[in-house]
């Protein structure tokens, strides 16, 4: 069993966050801690003028509420929303928080992943701890 598990949560439709949370619950056992993390990426400068004034504040509040509710379903769990680039921020958070396992949901790979990469592949390649990928 792991003592400190990180579950990065993406709210994209093709991500199985519920499956990742269930796996984390099993891997944590009775005494492991689970942290649900959502990384809010910055809106590019060329698009920010098209975003309603309160969009960032309201979306952050909605995400924090949703994550808190998800964490409430787990024993010994917490949730955090932080700003940054998803892959790098997840890796930095894991290192700074003493995470010993990351459980991350991923989509099915396709040609675009050969050119662009994905958050899950970056985490798998660079994490200093165990990583379980859920599809």
Residue-wise pLDDT tens digits, 57-68: 999 999 999 999
Of 99 and 16, the structure prediction assigns the larger pLDDT to: 99
Report if pTM > 0.95.
Answer: no
Rg (CA), the chain: 15
- Given this model, what pLDDT does residue 85 score? 94
Task: Please tell me the number of Cα atoms within 13 Å of 40 on its side-chain side.
Answer: 16
From CA 85, how far away is CA 69, in angstroms rounded?
A: 24
Q: Could you give the domains of the chain?
A: 4-134 (3.40.50.620)
- Given this model, what pLDDT does residue 102 score? 98
Region for 35 from its dihedrals, namely left if φ exceeds 0, alpha if ψ lies in -120 to 50, beta otherwise: beta
Q: What percentage of the chain exceeds 70 in pLDDT? A: 93
- Given this model, what pLDDT does residue 115 score? 41
């Amino acid at each position: 069993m792991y003592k400190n598990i990180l579950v990065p949560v993406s709210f994209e439709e093709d991500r199985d966050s519920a499956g990742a949370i269930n796996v984390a619950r099993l891997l944590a056992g009775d005494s492991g801690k689970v942290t649900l993390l959502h990384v809010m990426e910055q809106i590019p400068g060329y698009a920010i003028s098209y975003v309603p004034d309160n969009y960032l504040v309201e979306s952050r509040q909605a995400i924090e509420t949703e994550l808190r509710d998800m964490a409430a379903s787990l024993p010994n769990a917490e949730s955090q929303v932080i700003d940054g680039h998803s892959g790098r921020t997840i890796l930095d958070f894991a290192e700074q928080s003493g995470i010993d396992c990351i459980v991350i949901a991923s989509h099915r790979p396709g040609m675009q992943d050969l050119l662009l990469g994905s958050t899950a592949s970056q985490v798998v390649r660079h994490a200093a701890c165990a990583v379980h990928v859920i599809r």
